[in-house]
Amino acid sequence: MPGIAAATTDLSKVYGSGDTRVVALDQVSIGFREGEFTAIMGPSGCGKSTLMHCAAGLDTPGSGSVRIGTTELSTLDDRQLTELRRDRLGFVFQAFNLLPTLTALENITLPMDIAGRAPDRDWLHEVIAMVGLSDRLGHRPAQLSGGQQQRVAVARALASRPSIVFADEPTGNLDSRAGAEALGFLRRSVREFGQTVVMVTHDPVAAGFADRVVFLSDGRLVDEMIRPSPDRVLDRMKAFDARAHVS
């Protein structure tokens, strides 16, 4: 049986107070299984990114707990939390977040260089080959297309063999073909490398690459879909919209 790569228990997060008080997350409990690709979906402002940022240790919960593997994040100080994110997590962001002065290869190995760790050369070559960047490694981000930059970002997230990869709207700045490529690489990393991926998306096509989709509404988990297809996800999202308009 696969273990749990990350989990939240009764996770709540509130922003502001009084008239400006917003409940971003309301007692969310969820586990992300090892070797599984999970998409988090829901209407704008429902708490998707807040859930991911808390689960990844990028934001602190108001109450409840977050675990990466068996490590309870609230027991870590800032330095330990930084090391855990660096050593055990991978990140793919909508904005790519590449350093413009570094080559593609230098961007890919940057987290390991900062940590003072030599990359596993065989693994690095495997990841670079999977994302099709072998002939672009000496290029800087400005010399790469958006799709190629996102491939660099995916390779960087996978290069350190993280326990779990968090992807926040990873196709948001890409055209449909480049987006499908990036999602295909994440999908392959799950299927072939046993990687765990958690992705926030608003796109039913992107969600169709996942093994399961969890749906948030008003800061709460309200539904789950196993083996999603874009059409089924779109139908479910339309039902949420219809319900919101009725209420």
The pTM for the full model equals 0.92
Q: What is the pLDDT of residue 43?
A: 84
Nearest to 167 by CA among 4, 81, 24, 40: 40
**Per residue in 201-225, is it b (16+ CB within 10 Å) or e — as a string?**
bbbbbbbbbbbbbbbbbebebeeeb
| CA–CA gap between residue 111 and residue 113 (Å, rounded) | 5
CA distance 51 to 49: 5
Predicted pLDDT of residue 22: 87
The dihedral sign for the CA sequence 208, 94, 53, 128: positive
Closest CA to 55 of 224, 181, 200: 200
Phi, psi of 212 (to 5 degrees): -150, 155
Residue 178 CA from chain centroid, whole number: 17
- How confident is the model at residue 90, as a pLDDT? 93
- The per-residue pLDDT string of the chain (247 residues; one tens digit each, 9 = 90 and over) reads 679 999 999 999 999 888 888 889 999 999 999 999 999 998 888 889 999 999 999 999 999 999 999 999 999 999 999 999 988 999 998 888 899 999 999 999 998 898 888 888 999 999 999 889 999 999 999 999 999 999 999 999 999 889 899 999 988 888 888 889 999 999 999 998 899 999 999 999 999 999 999 999 989 999 999 999 999 999 988 887 776 655 4
pLDDT of amino acid 172:
85
Q: What is the DSSP letter of 112?
A: H
Is residue 59 within 8 A of residue 214, CB to CB? The reply is: no
Backbone torsion region of residue 131, taken as left when φ is above 0, otherwise alpha when ψ lies between -120 and 50, otherwise beta: alpha
Q: What pLDDT sits at residue 244?
A: 60
Burial class, 56, CB count within 10 angstroms (exposed 0-12 / middle 13-18 / buried 19+): buried
- Tokens at residue 5, please? 């790569």
Return the pLDDT at 29.
96
CATH number at residue 91: 3.40.50.300
Q: Which of 4, 61, 6, 11 is nearest to 220 (CA)?
A: 11
Please say whether the beta carbons of 163 and 5 come within 8 A.
Answer: yes
- Structural domain tally of the chain? 1
Asked if residue 237 lies in contact with residue 41, where contact means CB atoms within 8 angstroms, the answer is: yes
pLDDT confidence of residue 241:
72
Which domain range does residue 100 map to?
A: 4-246
Asked if 145 contacts 136 with a C-beta cutoff of 8 angstroms, the reply is no
Distance CA(54)–CA(228), nearest Å, equals 25
